[in-house]
Structure 1
Amino acid sequence: MTDSRHIPDSDDVLLQHYRQHSTGEPPASLDAFILATAHREAPAPPPSFWQRWLQACQRPRWQMAFATVAGLALMIGVVMRSPVPQPEISTATFSALHEEAARPAPPPMSAPAPVARLAVAPKAESAQVMGSMADESSARLSKRAPVALPSLEEGLREIMRLREAGQARAADEKLLALHARFPGEHLPARLEALQKR
């Protein structure tokens, strides 16, 4: 004996009740109240380094301290940059010495007077000194000049020339040297391509 009436399930009743009452939203004033409370209760972010620096600079006692430190730094900078006395060599003196060194020496007289001999001697000595200084500086520059190494193409041509001359050992040594200078290149293939030209 079953009852023809359908007894609703408890889950269905609960679901139906939820659907009836879930259509409403809280009022906008409640949302605004919650947001205002959250903003009020949130901690303020700490000031950045530059904001703290600016606040410290605005206090009178710190302004005086910073001004004192800046003044001392400027005074030390001025004292340290004072010129150091150097022996003066005027450009006129240097150019006169250079011109005298460039001029040919006058022909010697048969018997110069002792005073004239003293006047001629410093000029000749300065010309010798200037000439030797020029020779030294050119020698130093020539020693410092880097030796230009041949390019890969020139090196390969040199190897070909050595092999044609019958100097296989020297050609192999040059090839090893090129391998050391150009490790990423496939030198035998490039050598063959150069021979086919």
Structure 2
Amino acid sequence: MDIVKKSLLMLAGILLLAVGITYWQLGSDETLENEATSGQTLDNTTEERGGAANIAVYVCGAVKNPGVVLLSPNSRVGDAINSCGGLLPNANAENINLAEGVKDGMQIKVQSRNMNPGSEGMGQGTALPGKGESADGKININTAGIEELTRIPGVGKATAQRIIDYRAQNGTFEDIEDLKKIKGIGKAKFEKMAPKITI
């Protein structure tokens, strides 16, 4: 009788041990599976992020803060302009397709309403031969291209480009003294320029 009891107790102990080992193995497999799934999710997320890298777009002209902006690939021209602070009051918005999709390396140039006819492209330094010099030999700072602006005393190509960029963003000069608003043109430099310029 004692032998039977001992045998039953041993059998029960073996069964409990087997059940315990089974549960432990199941728990380990579940943990490994969760880790594998988590790793797969992280990898997928990384791939998705890598596939949706930002693109660079250059916005210039009649916007508040011209420059290069980073946008998501599905952005529109309107998003690029808003990233630069929006349009200036004198911007010619009718000539811009705000719904157009943007591409990496794209340039968006916003023209001003009061730019002179034929001045398109002036923001890139296009020279306008014969339109910038008046009969008395003075240079018209509203219509002159880079080459003509460099004929003004004290004006090199860098300053000439800044004058053209100012026109592209703010429209034509209303007074020759408005040149003082441009970086690099102080009182002394303006006094050298004044006898040779007109509007």
User: Shorter-chain TM-score: which interval?
Assistant: under 0.3
Q: Higher strand proportion, which one?
A: 2
More contact order relative to length (CA 8 Å, sep ≥ 6): 2
Q: TM-score, normalised by structure 2?
A: 0.26
Answer 1 or 2: which has greater helix percent: 1
TM-score computed with the length of structure 1 as normaliser: 0.26
